[in-house]
Structure 1
Amino acid sequence: MGSVSHDDIEPVTDRVHDNSWSANLEKPVHAEDRDLVVEQARDAVTHTAPGNHVNLVTHGDHGHPETYLYEELRAAFDGVDLEYVEQCGCGGHVTRARVGDDAETGAPEAAATEETTSEEG
């Protein structure tokens, strides 16, 4: 991906979601950088309040997310269940990451959660 730092890439979200939502990890920058996909998938789970899920929509160029993403997420989080949902018509993949009520994700307290609508698309 050249000299662009992951710090220079727009974050997948900047708040804790106390609802179910979708994280778009299939932009051109994601196609170029599998490590960015993994990093931002971790961020998305971290920003999902317990009892909710995030749909991780990953770029098709990296193949099935089970081959590179699931192990990384399982190693990073306890209490997060992963479910493959489908392959999109564009070639991307949707994985649902359910954050259990007792999950340890490192998310800020729910009291800090903004009350906004879902970003699910």
Structure 2
Amino acid sequence: MLVLAVSMTIAGCSSTDKNEDNVTERVVATDFILEVTTPTVLSTGETLKVKGTLKYTGIKPVEVTHGKPIIRFSFSGSNEQRNYADVGYVTEFKLGQVVEVEDEFIVTKKGKQNLIVDMTADISMTMNPIEIVVK
């Protein structure tokens, strides 16, 4: 029984250590909160998985004109390019409404790389690049 308890404790610690390499950055502007979660340490050949969440905290419904997707990512450690629709979408945001966007990049370049987060909306939000170390 003691061996099982020790094994479970060690297994729990190792998964917690891996989660320490993830970061969530947050930007707040007027009635919106933008959060991006990404790993910050990867190796070449791995897949960078990022998630962006835009939450509306205002009380009155508001229409937002945007491209698709509303949250866009680019990663300097990959050669992948994205083709996005720049205009023509309108979303009515209501209190508590959340939009999630996920993306993936194959990591091809070593060293310090940057994840760039961009909003394609008539909402003014700027997030600094997130540094990712590629081993």
Given the two structures, how large is their TM-score scaled by the length of structure 2? 0.28
Given the two structures, how large is their TM-score scaled by the length of structure 1? 0.30
Q: Which has the higher helix share?
A: 1
Q: Which has the higher strand share?
A: 2
